[in-house]
Amino acid sequence: MYEVTGENFARAISWLLGWSYFTSWSLSFYPQPLRCWKRRSTRGITVDFPLLNIVGFTSYFISTTAFLFSPGIRQQYAVRHPLAPEPTVRLNDLVFALHGTIVCFVFYSQFYPRLWNFEIVKGQRASSTALGIFYGSIIGVAITVLLVSLLKGGRDTADSWADIDIIYAFSYVKLIITLSKYAPQAWYNYKIKSTAGWAIDMIWLDFIGGIMSLLQLIIDSALQADWSGITGNPAKLFLAVFSLGFDMVFFAQHYILYKGAELPAEDEEEDATRPLLG
């Protein structure tokens, strides 16, 4: 007979939180592309957001796949975290990352208006900052691969270069993307003094998912009696923290600063955002 204990109850809560955040975050991908499809336009949205999301979620998918299914990576993780040798990555993290990658590609394709028969928006192109982050992320991972190939030792030790450092590099790409992907849109909203093109439903779902993801990570680390399980999964930790911070910014813009403001005329919008798009 299955015995109900405090640990089993906590694990059940962790499972519930994991799939709840997966549901909330997964649903958060849809309001914006659906809003664009309904309006037949991507006006009011920066292409930086879906472009950076593609890089971020592809990296997140690679790192979660490795932590879940690579015996070598899991062994190296155990060496670096002997008190909590089991990675706190869960199946729901992997499914979320895969789903996010696919939807982000679909959303990005909407910025090719002829594919969707959308309105053609003047001057809507990736900013130099976004392109710099895009190529910088690729170069950063490539440098890490080179360092690991040159400096990797014959034995796995906590302070030696190993394949897990490449996986951590992908995790840090996701962190950088999460930190930077919202900034262009927040700045864009500030310049045009409106959030009319931005789907606030997406932000609410993102906010709820971030809270649940953070709670699951805390519970999982508590069950292992080792809080390094949190820092050992930096992508999941900072993904939640950074998202929550920017969600608050968008809430302030939508409900306080620019409440009820419509999008400016197309020419005014293009003039207001030209320095950003440069």
pLDDT tens sequence across 20-31: 888 898 899 999
Of 137, 92, 106, 138, nearest in space to 236 by CA: 92
pTM score, whole prediction = 0.76
- List the domain boundaries for the chain: 6-268
Which run of H or of E encompasses 66? helix 48-69
Q: Is the pLDDT of residue 239 over 90?
A: no
pLDDT of residue 210: 84
- Report the pLDDT value the prediction gives residue 273, as an integer from 0 to 100: 52
Rounded alpha-carbon distances, angstroms, from residue 73 to 21, 60, 62, 85, 225:
25, 15, 12, 11, 22
Q: Is the pLDDT of residue 51 over 60?
A: yes
Nearest-10 crossing angle of helices 48-69, 71-80: 90
Sign of the C-alpha dihedral computed for residues 142, 143, 147 and 150 taken in this order: positive
Q: Distance between CA 23 and CA 33 in Å, rounded?
A: 17
- Which of 81-95, 103-117, 157-171 ranks highest by mean pLDDT? 103-117
Alpha-carbon distance 8 to 179, whole Å?
Answer: 35
**Tens digit of each residue's pLDDT (9 = 90 or more) over 70-96:** 999 999 988 887 777 788 788 878 988
The per-residue pLDDT for 121 is 86
Name, in order, each residue with C-beta under 8 angstroms of 185's C-beta and a sequence gap of 6 or more.
45, 46, 48, 49, 198, 250
Q: Is the pLDDT of residue 126 over 80?
A: yes
pLDDT tens by residue, 250-269: 999 999 999 988 888 765 55
What length is written for the chain?
278
Q: CA–CA separation, 156 vs 143, rounded Å?
A: 20
